[in-house]
């Protein structure tokens, strides 16, 4: 899909010659690695911990944006970011019946890994990805992730003698397409010189939390606790403060 929508056509066999290819390779590997880490975190620590660890990782690219790229620091921006982080926690926490007490290893790996992906995405975009190459870069990234994922599933299938069926492929496509477009739109937004990455990542992450919380409430009848309600209100306030800053 990325190659079909690319503004600049690049022969597939020459992709490795592009300056952004090493970044796409590392990001593709990280994508699939974090996918499995997320699954392990949910299994050992619960869905609530998984959601919080993944969403709170936004602090990593925010800090890198401020210190590495000398982005603006104002009172309202810092206040908005702090409120947004509190909102992410309150919106993500769920009242689970049986809270799991697993090791902190996987939540920490998820936090660091997710934050590293966003940070590296910004770094590669700034230094290597031209405006016309966003689609093909994103397509290459997901193609590499798909290859790594296919190899891992093949090995697991051989070891456990489990069938690798069509449903696995369909699930990958269903998850891959929206994620591909989310990366493309994020990259396009990062190219906008009028939007700082610390602001963009905060607004993007918190907006996702708000939408996913409301979708869970409206369509899946999830329980909406007082903490979740406060979290959504704070999330909106955080977005407003960061945006006007």
Question: How do residues 42-97 score in pLDDT, each as one tens digit?
Answer: 888 877 788 888 888 889 999 999 888 888 888 999 999 999 889 888 887 776 55
For residue 179 the two structure tokens come to 């994620």
The 10s digit of each residue's pLDDT in 25-41 is: 999 999 999 999 998 88
Question: Which tens digits make up the pLDDT trace of 113-157?
Answer: 999 999 999 999 989 998 888 888 998 998 999 899 888 888 877
What tens digit of pLDDT does each residue of 217-226 get? 787 777 778 8
The pTM for the full model equals 0.82
Angle of helix 197-219 relative to helix 59-68, nearest 10 degrees?
170
Contacts 24+ apart (CB under 8 A), 189-197: 190/121, 190/122, 190/125, 190/126, 191/125, 191/131, 191/134, 196/65, 196/69, 196/71, 196/72, 197/61, 197/62, 197/64, 197/65, 197/69, 197/71, 197/122
Q: Is the pLDDT of residue 175 over 70?
A: yes
Q: Are 27 and 141 in contact (CB under 8 A)?
A: yes
Q: Is the pLDDT of residue 23 over 60?
A: yes
Tell me how far apart the alpha carbons of residues 164 and 175 are, in angstroms, rounded to a whole number: 17
Q: Tell me the domain boundaries of the chain.
A: 18-244
Considering just the CA atoms, what is the radius of gyration of the chain in Å?
Answer: 19
């Amino acid at each position: 899909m990325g190659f079909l929508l690319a503004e600049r056509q690049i022969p597939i066999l020459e992709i490795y010659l592009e300056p952004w290819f090493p970044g796409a390779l590392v990001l593709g590997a990280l994508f699939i690695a974090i996918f499995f880490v997320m699954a392990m975190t949910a299994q050992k620590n619960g869905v609530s911990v998984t959601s919080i660890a993944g969403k709170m990782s936004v602090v990593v690219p925010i800090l890198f944006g401020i210190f590495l790229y000398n982005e603006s620091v104002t009172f309202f921006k810092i206040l908005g970011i702090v409120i947004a982080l509190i909102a992410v926690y309150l919106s993500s926490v769920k009242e689970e019946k049986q809270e799991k007490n697993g090791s902190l290893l996987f939540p920490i790996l998820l936090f660091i890994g997710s934050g590293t992906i966003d940070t590296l995405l910004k770094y590669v975009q700034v230094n290597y990805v031209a405006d016309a190459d966003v689609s093909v870069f994103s397509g290459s990234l997901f193609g590499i992730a798909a290859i790594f994922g296919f190899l891992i599933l093949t090995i697991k299938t051989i070891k456990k003698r489990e069938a690798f069926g069509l449903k696995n492929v369909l699930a990958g496509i269903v998850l891959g397409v929206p994620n591909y477009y989310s990366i493309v739109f994020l990259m396009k937004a990062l190219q906008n010189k009028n939007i700082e990455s610390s602001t963009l990542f905060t607004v993007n992450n918190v907006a996702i939390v708000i939408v996913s919380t409301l979708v869970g409430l409206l369509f899946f009848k999830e329980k909406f606790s007082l903490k979740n309600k406060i979290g959504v209100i704070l999330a909106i306030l955080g977005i407003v403060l960061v945006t006007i800053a």
